[in-house]
Every structure is written in C-alpha cells, then in structure tokens.
C-alpha cells in the first residue's frame, strides 16, 4: 500500500510581514502487501515505513514525469533528511510496471536496506499529478494573505 500526505508550509510573523518558517513536504507511507491466491490481500502493518520528501526532492521527482512514458527509464534521487540520515529514492521503469525503491542507510551496518513497491504506469503518473497539484501548497502560495489559516491547516 502506498499513500501520500502533503504537509503545508508553516509561517512566522516578522515585523510587518509573514515569512515561511518551514517549507512544506510530502509524507509517504508504504506498507508491504502479501497477495494471496484467493484474491485476498494481507497488509504487514508491523513493517510500515514513513519517508518524507521536501520541495527540492519533489522537483527532482517531477522531472521524471515526462520520461514516465518512455519504454525504460531509471532515476535515482539521493537526499539527507537529517545529518546522519541518508536516503535513496530509486525508480526503475519497465514497459509494464514501475518499481519504486526507497532505501535508508542502516547506521550499524552502513548498508542500504531497500523498501520496494510496484506501481503501474497509471498509478505512477497519477501520483506525480497529485504531487504537482500539491506543490503550490507546499511552497505556501495558498496563504499569501491569510497565513493564520494555513498554519491551522498544516497541523491537521
């Protein structure tokens, strides 16, 4: 299971103007699914992972949108959310499916433990469109005149 939640930018009042205190980001939640022969699915909630992408990484991801229709494409986005927290977002596209792999460096072993999910081309393009639609909210453009309302929304 793959879900995305946009988190809006937060604001602070300085002298006679408002400034973005913290840019927005998108929270990705990934839960492994075990498909059974009977057609039922079992979600492994104990293996659930959360990853977040900031505006810069989202921009790198949106660049792949035009290439989503190519026959085969590979993309790699590397980023660090915190000082010692290196992550890799890898996208491998075949003619039929898109394999999304998010890896986080394990501090003890200094290895990347990948978390993989398969998306259809339609799911991938839909996710990119939803991210594209959310981008103005992540940048704070929705609250140019009413930042107090946006701060309340960011906490929802």
pLDDT in tens, the chain (156 residues): 778 888 888 888 888 877 778 888 888 887 777 777 777 777 888 878 777 888 888 887 787 766 655 556 666 666 565 556 666 667 777 666 777 776 666 544 545 556 677 777 777 778 888 888 888 888 877 655 555 555 555 454
Predicted local confidence at residue 45, as pLDDT: 85
Is 71 domain-assigned? yes
What DSSP letter does each residue of 81-97 carry, written as one string?
A: EETTEEEEEEEEE-SSE
Number of domains in the chain: 1
Cβ contacts of 155 within 8 Å, gap of 6 or more: none
- Say how many residues make up the chain: 156
Residue ranges making up the domain that contains 112: 2-147
**Residue 28's pLDDT is what?**
82
Report the CATH number at residue 128: 2.30.31.10
Residue 17 lies in a domain: yes
Residues 56, 33: contact at Cβ < 8 Å? no
Look up the pTM and report it: 0.65
Instruction: Label the pairing between strands 97-106 and 111-120.
Output: antiparallel
Q: What confidence score (pLDDT) does residue 156 get? A: 47
């Amino acid at each position: 299971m793959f879900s995305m939640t946009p988190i809006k930018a937060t604001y602070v009042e300085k002298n006679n103007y408002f400034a973005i205190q913290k840019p927005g980001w998108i929270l990705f939640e990934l839960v492994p699914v075990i498909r059974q022969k009977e057609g039922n699915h079992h979600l492994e909630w104990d293996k659930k992972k959360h990853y977040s992408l900031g505006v810069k990484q989202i921009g790198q991801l949106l660049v792949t949108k035009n290439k989503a229709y190519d026959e085969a494409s590979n993309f790699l986005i590397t980023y660090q959310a915190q000082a010692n927290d290196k992550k890799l977002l890898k996208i491998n596209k075949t003619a039929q499916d898109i394999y999304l792999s998010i890896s986080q460096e394990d501090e003890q072993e200094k290895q990347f433990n990948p978390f993989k999910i398969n998306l259809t081309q339609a799911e991938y393009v839909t996710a990119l469109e939803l991210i594209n639609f959310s981008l103005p909210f992540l940048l704070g453009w929705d609250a140019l005149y009413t930042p107090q309302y946006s701060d309340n929304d960011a906490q929802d």
